[in-house]
Amino acid sequence: MASHSSSSEKKSDTLEAGDVNDFKVHVFKSSSELLEKLHDKWSQVEKKPYAAMFSSTYGGIILDPALMVIPIDDHMVHRGHGVFDTAVILNGFIYELDVHLNRFLRSSSKAKISSPFPQSTLRTILVQLAAVSQIKKGTLRYWLSAGPGNFLLSPTDLPTPAFYAVVIDEDFSQCKEGVKVITSTIPMKSPEFATMKNVNYLPNVLAKLEAEEKGANASIWVDEEGYVAEGPNVNVAFITHDKELVVPFFDKILSGCTVLRMLELAPKLVEQGRLKAIRTANLTVEEAKNSAEMMYVGSTLPVLPIIAWDEQPIGDGKVGELTMALSDLVWEDMNAGPVGTQRTAVPYTE
């Protein structure tokens, strides 16, 4: 038996070796041949999701998705030395562009990445990119990288940092259905990295996958002191049984632009007598799970009701009335908020 098994293994090894030796890697002899291959690939995509991209490496806006690439020696690719941010395009307006840009540059400063352009130029590029894309509803995503130039650890010898941006044709609407979440077992980032929107999102990805594998929408991080922190790429908020809106302190987590705007809008519900108070605080898991309502808050949601956490119902296990009232406030602001301060008009051309 043993000798038969060994002989089978040898035969299998021989076959695998033969297969490997028979495999020939194609060599592209010219850029035109490669471009033809890329165009062939994209021709099979029915709806092009990426309408336009800006690359400081190219020095302009790209409309051909086959060319929407970044260099392999860019330090954002092989070292994760980059930061990013996202703004929503809705009804032809960019929502909270300046707030997101300010956070973007705070992140880049923490990551020791200087911008190749001043903030006013970055803003102009993003608005022009949105205009060229012709997208009226989608997301505007952008990155600052230490830049391309080598495969070393330090960026000291790189020629210049790089700025990339892309407009994505993306449909989204106000979330009205409740979701279930779990407590993540994936270690959360240290405050230094959690408060900086950098491209090192492996913990976030693993936390999301962990939730999906358990049949949940996403997860909740709890810090080392046992306090509720945030979701994998969203903030979390609670309504207590005393009708208080409570959001975890931002000292160890990312201060989300959408949750900050929600906190600015929420006093309207206090004035109406529907909410009693608004505060940021440390919440234990037990306190949070015993809240009356719970929600995720993020750019494209903007508010996502949470009805169960680790299989324990939140409140009565249904979408909360005040959660939807807060969602309505933010959604209305996204659609019809002040032009100039909250919404930037995109100058589309016919």
Quickly state the pLDDT bin for 7 (edges 50, 70, 90): very low
Using a 10 angstrom Cβ sphere, with 0-12 exposed, 13-18 middle and 19 or more buried, the burial of residue 341 is exposed
Please check whether residue 247 is in contact with residue 237, taking contact to mean a CB–CB distance below 8 angstroms.
yes
Please check whether residue 195 is in contact with residue 255, taking contact to mean a CB–CB distance below 8 angstroms.
yes
Residue where a domain terminates, one of 169, 198, 223: 169
Collapse the DSSP code of 35 into the 3-class scheme (helix H, G, I; strand E, B; otherwise coil) and give the result: helix
Q: Are residues 100 and 210 in the same domain?
A: no
Q: Are residues 144 and 240 in the same domain?
A: no
Q: What is the CATH number of the domain that holds 161?
A: 3.30.470.10
Token pair recorded at residue 218: 């996403």
Q: Are residues 195 and 332 in the same domain?
A: yes
Q: Identify whether 1 is part of a domain.
A: no
Q: Which residues touch 77 (CB under 8 Å, ≥6 apart)?
A: 70, 71
Q: Are residues 303 and 184 in the same domain?
A: yes
pTM of the model: 0.92
On the question of pLDDT at 10 being above 60, the answer is no
Active site residues: 197
| Mean pLDDT of the region 43-50 | 93
| Mean pLDDT of the region 194-218 | 97
Q: Identify whether 25 is part of a domain.
A: no
Q: Are residues 183 and 331 in the same domain?
A: yes
Question: How far apart (Å, rounded) are the C-alpha atoms in residues 82 and 68?
Answer: 18
pLDDT in tens, 254-282: 999 999 999 999 999 999 999 999 999 99
Q: Identify whether 287 is part of a domain.
A: yes
The pLDDT of residue 18: 53
Q: Are residues 62 and 200 in the same domain?
A: no
Q: Are residues 318 and 279 in the same domain?
A: yes
Residue where a domain terminates, one of 146, 169, 192: 169
Q: Are residues 247 and 310 in the same domain?
A: yes
Quickly state the pLDDT bin for 14 (edges 50, 70, 90): very low
Q: What is the CATH number of the domain that holds 236?
A: 3.20.10.10
Strands 312-313 and 82-90: unpaired
Phi, psi of 264 (to 5 degrees): -75, -35
The pLDDT of residue 20: 64
Q: Are residues 258 and 308 in the same domain?
A: yes
Q: Are residues 162 and 192 in the same domain?
A: no
Note down the domain range covering 272: 179-336
Residue where a domain terminates, one of 135, 169, 203: 169
- CA distances 178 to 90, 99, 111, 166, 175, Å, are 23, 28, 36, 30, 8
pLDDT in tens, 299-342: 999 999 999 999 999 999 999 999 999 999 999 999 999 999 99
Counted domains in the chain: 2
Percent of the chain whose pLDDT exceeds 70: 94
Q: Which residues of 64-80 are buried (b: 16+ CB within 10 A; e: fewer)?
A: ebbebebeeebbbbebe
